[in-house]
Amino acid sequence: MATAAPLTPERILEATEEVLRRHGAAKATVVDVARALGVSHGTVYRHFRTKAELRGAVTKRWLDRTSVALAGIVTGSEPPEAKLRHWLAGLFDAKQHKAGDDPELFATYTVLTEENGGVVNDHIAELTGQLTAIIQQGVADGDFASPDPALSARAVFDATSRFHDPCYAPHWSRPGIDEAFVAVLDLTVRGLRA
């Protein structure tokens, strides 16, 4: 079953996510992905050399959806404190949606992130890098005080773990979670103020 559209890495990753959604992380195979695309599994392996590489790439794509959306906040024109609040609320909102809108796919990606520690570390470095940029701007504007913006960024990221770390996903739909988030957000922002 040949297909007319050119076989790009992005199309393979789309098909992989669909196969993961249908079969789960344990059962999804490269043969399933190839079948969904109407190509041989050898063709898939020309783009991703191993099953592990394909799983790492689809995990990265899933995580990138969040960091790409947040990058727009970093480069926006809001003052630093509003930007920081907006960014942290955006991260929490993205995670709540990922976990709540499609819990099975979220569980599948939770398994995949556990087997792709390097991809996750790069993602965390990307996110804390964005936070560092916001804090640096706040220091430059005289709104924030921080002798080491990268360390402060890591502290802000760690202090808000309850609202983005998948180990807390079952909490994100509980009553009171938004009030708890705002309380931590206020504490964190106050902690950065000059």
Compare residues 71 and 184 and give the one whose CB is closer to a copy of itself: 184
Compare residues 137 and 188 and give the one whose CB is closer to a copy of itself: 188
Give 123's contacts (C-beta < 8 A, 6+ positions apart): 60, 63, 64, 67
Q: How far is the CB of 136 from a copy of itself (least distance, A)?
A: 16
Q: Which amino acid appears at position 151 of this protein?
A: L
Compare residues 23 and 171 and give the one whose CB is closer to a copy of itself: 171
Q: Does 75 bind a copy of itself (CB under 8 A)?
A: no
Contact region with a copy of itself (CB under 8 A), list: 61-69, 80-88, 107-115, 183-191: 183-191
Q: Which long-range contacts (CB under 8 A, 24 or more apart) does 99-108 make?
A: 99/166, 99/169, 99/172, 99/173, 100/172, 100/173, 102/21, 104/21, 104/24, 105/17, 105/20, 105/21, 106/166, 106/169, 108/20, 108/21, 108/24, 108/25
Residues 122-181 binding a copy of itself (CB under 8 A) are: 151-152, 154-156, 158-162, 165, 167-168, 179-180
Q: Which residues bind a copy of itself (CB under 8 A)?
A: 151-152, 154-156, 158-162, 165, 167-168, 179-180, 183-184, 186-192
